[in-house]
Amino acid sequence: MAENKFYTRGFISLLTAMNFVVMTVTGIVLYFVPQGRIAYWTNWKFLLLSKDNWGNIHITSSILFALCAAYHFYFNWKAFLNYIVNRISKAVSHKNELSLATVITLFIFFGTLYLVPPLNYMIQFSDFHASLGRDKSFCRHNIAYPLMSKKLY
């Protein structure tokens, strides 16, 4: 009879992947959530979950993801270090790719901080979408809000 052995590393890998999916979905939902009081005044819900519910799930799954990542790095430190050393030596031979990846990453980081186009368009779209909830006449005729909110105007 085959023994069902529990593989901790496999479990942590699966748990990390699942939490990554949860963080991605909740992050997307939170991007489109109406701003602060509007979500509360309108009793905003999506898939029967409120803004607070989505935020709490995002926070707890992020913490679990970070714990799983810490566990993963602790038990795979030697392999991780070898991987990094090998990648750095290969990256040095791929200077153009390394330079472009660095420039893109820095542009995304600082461009978002300083609201540089086209990155500020994503922020403005989120703000615009959130402001739609302020105009109740718009919400009555909008298809998305009645589907996302239990309370109709």
For residue 116, what are its two tokens?
């540089």
What local confidence, expressed as pLDDT, does residue 91 receive? Answer: 62
Handedness of CA 119, 123, 124, 126 (dihedral sign): positive
Q: Is residue 97 part of a domain?
A: no
Which pLDDT score is estimated for 39?
83
Per-residue pLDDT at 151 exceeds 50: no
Range of the structural domain that residue 44 is part of: 8-75+115-148
Residue 103 vs residue 128, higher pLDDT: 103
CA–CA dist 6, 77 (Å, integer):
21
Identify whether 80 is part of a domain: no
Number of domains in the chain: 1
Residue 24's pLDDT is what? 96
Question: Which stretch of DSSP H or E encloses residue 49?
Answer: strand 49-50
Is residue 67 pLDDT above 90, yes or no? yes
106 contacts 100 by C-beta, under 8 angstroms: no
Prediction pTM value = 0.62
Domain membership flag for residue 96: no
Residue at 90 is within a domain: no
- Tell me the mean pLDDT in the region 76-93: 79
| Mean pLDDT rounded to a whole number for the chain | 80
Mean pLDDT, residues 93-101 taken together? 77
The answer as to whether 32 is a domain residue is yes
Q: Would residue 82 count as lying in a domain?
A: no
For residue 2, tell me if it sits in a domain.
no
Domain assignment present for residue 86? The answer is: no
Res. 1: pLDDT tops 60: no
Single-letter amino acid code for the residue at 38: I
The contacts of residue 43 (CB under 8 Å, 6+ apart) are: 50, 149, 150, 151
Instruction: Name the maximum alpha-carbon separation found in the chain.
Output: 67
Between residues 149 and 87, the one the model is more confident about = 87
d(CA 153, CA 136): 7
